[in-house]
Amino acid sequence: MARPLTRIADGTPYVRPAAVETQIDQAVQLSATDLRRRLLITDRNDPGHLRSECLVHLVREGRRSGNQALMTAVLPILLGRCEANLRVAVADVAIPDAANLRQRILDDLTELFVMDGSGDFPDELDFYECKFNKAFRALRIDAIRRAERRSRRSIEVAEMPELEVKSMPDAFEDAFARVSNAFKVLPTQEWDADREPILQAIEALPPDERDAVVLVHALGYKEESDNPEEETAATRCNCTGRTIRNRLTRAAAKLSRFKEDL
């Protein structure tokens, strides 16, 4: 019998549908050869077709037990199904930069398996063992919405006038101090919890602002230099030091507002 799920919603533990439980019980008894044969069945109406919920369970069990062969056999099949879904749901003709967005969604799903049993949501994949299509749809929609928000921010920033920045308010400097600290402190469980929100805020910045923040305040590059041979944030971004400072100022305004919301 498959191990019980632990995630709880509205006071009720998650429970796999009976058909999923039955198929999991059967799948774990298969030999490696028979499992590979079943994994190749793509017709959902075929009695031998393994449901995606079952595949999620097998990958999780492979990771928990250290069975790399099981994970290697099952995970690519599951990701292949998801990629086929995304080619329709995140179509090139409908969404800008669709190929990269599809890859990010697949990366997000893979990350769930990597983080399974740890972090703030150790049992997040329980939902995927119950209703995979619904769970993956939510993951997909969330990624699309994040991409749309980033796109809107980029348009708004592009319309802002380019002004020379002489100095930054204290709140901006404090925001960047938090960025620097996020990359300097040695990893701990508490560090991860504190670091994640600021990293999410950095990720949400428009690409040009995000690059400037990471180069200057995470990697330690100078904004610009009088030495033409020195690599700086400006040379890395192929722009002037003035442009880097303006990008940093716009980024700092967003990050300082983020701090106030914590």
pLDDT tens-place string over residues 234-245 = 998 889 998 998
Q: What are the tens digits of pLDDT across the range 150-197?
A: 766 544 444 444 434 444 444 445 555 555 554 444 434 343 445 566
CB 234 within 8 A of CB 215: no
pLDDT digits (tens, 9 = 90+) for 198-212: 667 777 888 888 888
Give 22-57 pLDDT, tens digit per residue.
Answer: 999 999 999 999 999 999 999 999 999 999 999 999
The per-residue pLDDT for 186 is 40
| CA 171 to chain centroid | 29
Q: Residue 30: CB partners within 8 Å, gap ≥ 6?
A: 38
Q: Is the pLDDT of residue 84 over 70?
A: yes
pLDDT at 158: 45
Q: In sequence order, what DSSP letters do the residues of 8-27 get, joined into one string? A: EETTEE----HHHHHHHHHH
Instruction: Tell which residue, 118, 86, 113, 88, has the closest CA to residue 101.
Output: 86
Selected residue with higher pLDDT from 81 and 163: 81
pLDDT value of residue 164 = 42
Q: Which of 182, 163, 150 is nearest to 254 (CA)?
A: 150
Question: Residue 137: its pLDDT value, please?
Answer: 92
